[in-house]
Structure 1
Amino acid sequence: MLFAAIAVPIQAPLPAMALLLMTALFLPPLFRALKLPELLGLILAGVLLGPSLFNILEPKADTVVLLAGIGKLYLMFLAGLEIDLSQFQAARDRSLRFGFATFAIPLLVGLLIGLGFGFGWNSAFLIGSLLASHTLLTLPIVEHYGLLRQRAVAATLGATIFTDIGALLVLAVCLAVQSGDGGLIAIVRDLLIFSVFITLVLYGVKPLSRWFFRLAHNNERNQFLFIFLVLLLVSLGAQAIQLDMIIGAFLAGLAVNETLQDEPVREKVDFFGKVMFLPCFFIDIGLLLNPAAFWETLTTAGSLTFAIVGGLFGSKFLAAIAVKQWEGYSWPEVRLMWSLSLPQVAATLAAAQAGLQAQLLSPAVFDSIIALVLITVLVGPLLTDRFAQQICSVPKREGRSAPVPSLD
């Protein structure tokens, strides 16, 4: 602890919560003004407040654990909620083909990277799964250019459902193996249990939510409470069958996706999570980072970080090329698909944290994943804006910069 003698970590719940909310209030506007992602500012705030520097907030404090834990679930819930299922149905075959390519190729590349750096098969598979998913961070950019129904964009957006479920299932198997119950019969049994659970959630919660919304018509208070309760109960159900809670949260988002599409309460669900819980999760990521160790990873173990970052960029591009000939995509479309599938936030951060806690990932790998997240958050929007303009044939105006995604 660099400044351990200066401050004693805040343990009392209310002061800790006040500090978290104060950080969430003042940091994002500052970083928006600097044209930088809010995510970067919140993680940096966590580093400054954490035990590695000023030692003001303790990552294990009850308030931090509660708010950041719900934030992690909310992050995955919103990831499931923001997938446009109608777009997936409209471009199902294209989505499945690109989804398989942009999942399998990064998974294989990550596996080879893990094995090449001396990690066991289980850890290497988890590293691969971290590269296999993607976050729809740049969705507002393609929406701004009116490209949501463009064939390459629709395929990429639809592919998200494939990549996220696939990556989370790999995480579930890796955690099950790590727990010691990793024989072939046990793995098959776990996969059957997981499949039954996924089916029950997706096909059970959907009609239940529709029935409740008809019952609570025009009562947004009860609708909101119902949605939040579904998130918690499905997450706890996942934990009960030895799945990570983030998988349950993602499934809960998918299950109520269609119910919330045209409901006014949808805005409240987004607003509440993004204002209250998501900032706390990103701050908690910063609390877990050790700047000295992070810098050491980037310098002495820079080859690992370079391999992970380069592996992601290269494998996602290969995936877009792999479907180019099959679907007849143009090169601008390929580049746009690549840039859309680059950002790594939701599933990557949540799964990396779960892997670190289960001792499946070393601190060096975790630091490299944080570097990957920050790089893709910065580069992804810039590339997407550029390639979207190419497809629209809109001349780039002098001094125009790519929109910076925000939490609100």
Structure 2
Amino acid sequence: MLLFEIAIILIASKLAGELSVRLGQPSVLGKLLVGIVLGPSLLGIVSNSDILQEFSQIGVVLLMFIAGLETDTDEFKRTWKASTYVGIAGIIAPFSLGYLAGIVIQLPILEAVFLGLLLSATSVSISVQALKELGKLKSKEGTTILGAAVIDDILVILALAFVMSFAGGDVNLGTVVLKKFLFFVIVGFLAWKVVPWLLKKSAHLRVTEPIVTAAIIICFIFAYLADYTGVAAIIGAYIAGLAINATEFKATIFEKVETISYSFFVPIFFTSIGLSAEFGGVIDNLGLILSLSILAILTKLIGAGVGAKIAGFPWRSSLGIGSAMVSRGEVALIIAAIGLESNLLTQDLFAILIIVVLVTTIVTPPMMKLFFKDDVNIEETRGRSI
């Protein structure tokens, strides 16, 4: 049954991506929507099984690894200040208004804070694919978005640890901060000294594809270290890509890892997001779902957009950057699961927020297309769609 489901996902994702491009949208939008169609909410052809979730996790890790390989590192260094403005402004607006929304719907203060925190999260994995298709990944806007997403994730995770310490969880804030600091120290050293050495040594091995295998190992180890220290696996994978970006093996690794990823794992990741949708009880909570969805979209769009404007971007580019930060994706899903487990979210509110997260993820690619459309030639990017 698993093999049949995978075949269905791959067929449907490619066809949906082609249709989406023909309709003038990034192909990733089709991948997200076809997951809803195939999943339990509609046709029920594909189930969101544990093994598909594991394949999905590999897909998003490889996607962010490729983003690191493609990042213009010189531009990345030049945009760190803009990334900081976007990342911080993109947290302040959704956190503040998310907290107020929690108070309005009569949540206790700690639960309202948690709601604001959840709405502050950003998952840039969807935006990465849209940026690739729009030809903007290596641009000043693209590198600003990637840097801002890393900053956003780090600050939100630290704030989450702080909130959990008040919620009675077994969390020591000092330990949490130390683990994250050690992660960046360790991977910084590995990226500087160990990664180039390991790739050079691998090149001399008389086995099949030693360099590509070594690169994937580096990616997975960095992702594991990030996940283990509570940073987020996708950040570790992105840093691994940046580390290899600076080596002579970048082009070879990029070409072959991209082939592996986009032919199998990445389509499963995008489709699995739609598979997670559960629409039971939507009608009863439609008003709250719509309100929170609008709040989630506008606070990131405007908050991060204002940060980009402060950093010197024109308004259109600023709103494009803001739109790329709208997707909450898997990061918010993880936070929501923590909230449910810690009784900071009720089962009903958890279900509502899953739909809100899905809405923010689906609207991100067309919003990016809208604001970046003057810079895009769809015909040139069709070959890059998955």
Task: Supply the AA of the counterpart residue of 1:208.
Answer: V
Aligned length: 365
Q: Counterpart of 2:150?
A: 165
Cα gap change, 1:224 to 1:175, in 2 (>3 Å): farther
Task: Please state how far the C-alpha of 1:286 moved relative to its aligned partner.
Answer: 0.7
Aligned CA RMSD, in angstroms, stands at 3.4
Is the aligned partner of 1:407 residue 2:353? no
| Cα distance change on mapping 1:161 and 1:273 into 2, 3 Å | same
Q: 2:131: which partner in 1?
A: 138
Structure 2 residue matching 1:35: 3-state secondary structure: coil
Distance 2:311 2:232 in 1: 32
User: Superposed, which structure 2 residues align to 1:328-367 within 5 Å?
Assistant: 333-344=314-325, 348-359=328-339, 362-367=350-355
* Corresponding letter in the other structure for 2:200: R
Identity, % of aligned pairs?
Answer: 19
Query: Any residues of structure 2 matched to 1:86-165 within 5 Å, and which?
Result: 86-89=74-77, 91=78, 95-118=79-102, 119-130=111-122, 135-136=127-128, 137-138=130-131, 141=134, 154=140, 156-165=141-150
Residue pairs, 1:5-154, within 5 angstroms: 12-62=1-51, 64-89=52-77, 91=78, 95-118=79-102, 119-130=111-122, 135-136=127-128, 137-138=130-131, 141=134, 154=140
After TM superposition, the structure 1 stretch with the greater mean CA deviation from structure 2, 239-248 or 311-320, is: 239-248
Distance 1:186 1:276 in 2: 40
Q: CA deviation at 1:121?
A: 2.0
Alpha-carbon distance between aligned partners in 1 of 2:16 and 2:379, rounded to the nearest angstrom:
20
- Tell me, yes or no, if the aligned pair for 2:76 and 2:147 is still in contact at 8 Å: no
- When residues 231 and 133 of structure 1 are mapped into structure 2, their CA distance, relative to the original with a 3 A threshold, is closer
Contact kept? 2:98, 2:115, Cα under 8 Å: yes
* Number of the residue aligned with 1:312: 300
TM-score, structure 1 normalization? 0.77
Give the gaps of 5 or more residues in structure 1: 1-11, 390-399
Aligned residue type for 1:290: E
Q: Per-residue displacement from partner, 1:300-352 (whole Å, max 9, x unpaired)?
A: 5322111111222222332233234xxxx6xxx34224324422488x32312
Cα distance, 1:49 vs structure 2: 2.0
Contact 2:59 2:261 (8 Å CA) reproduced: yes
Does structure 2 conserve the Cα–Cα contact (< 8 Å) formed by 1:107 and 1:131?
no
Deviations 1:102-157 (A, max 9, x none): 1111211011122012143234223223289994533664669xxx6xxxx53x34
Measured in 1, the distance between the counterparts of 2:248 and 2:318 equals 27
State the TM-score, normalizing by the size of structure 2.
0.81
- Residues of 2 paired with 1:344 and 1:370: CA distance? 14
Q: CA deviation at 1:284?
A: 0.8
Residue 120 of structure 1 aligns to a residue in which SS?
helix
Structure 2 letter corresponding to 1:342: S
1:284 paired residue among 272, 282, 295: 272
**Distance in 1, Cα, partners of 2:133 & 2:38:** 31
Long gaps (5+) in structure 2: 103-110
Q: Is the 8 A contact 2:25 2:369 kept in 1?
A: no
Return closer, same or farther for 1:123/1:304 CA change in 2, 3 Å cut-off.
Answer: closer
Measure the CA separation in 2 of the matches of 1:192 and 1:83: 28
Match of 1:213 in 2: 199
- With 203-212 and 275-284 compared, the bigger mean Cα shift is at 203-212
Given residue 276 of structure 1, which amino acid in structure 2 is its aligned partner?
F
The reply on whether 1:203 has 2:189 as its aligned counterpart is yes
Superposed displacement of residue 241, structure 1: 3.2
**1:298/1:34 Cα in 2 relative to 1: closer, same or farther (>3 Å)?**
farther
CA separation of 1:280 and 1:177: change in aligned 2, threshold 3 A? farther
For residues 170 and 240 of structure 1, do their structure 2 counterparts lie closer, same or farther at Cα, with a shift above 3 Å needed? Answer: same
Q: State the AA in 2 paired with 1:53.
A: L
Name whichever of 206-215 and 105-114 sits farther off: 206-215
The one-letter code of the counterpart of 1:138 is L
- Aligned partner of 1:3 in structure 2 is none
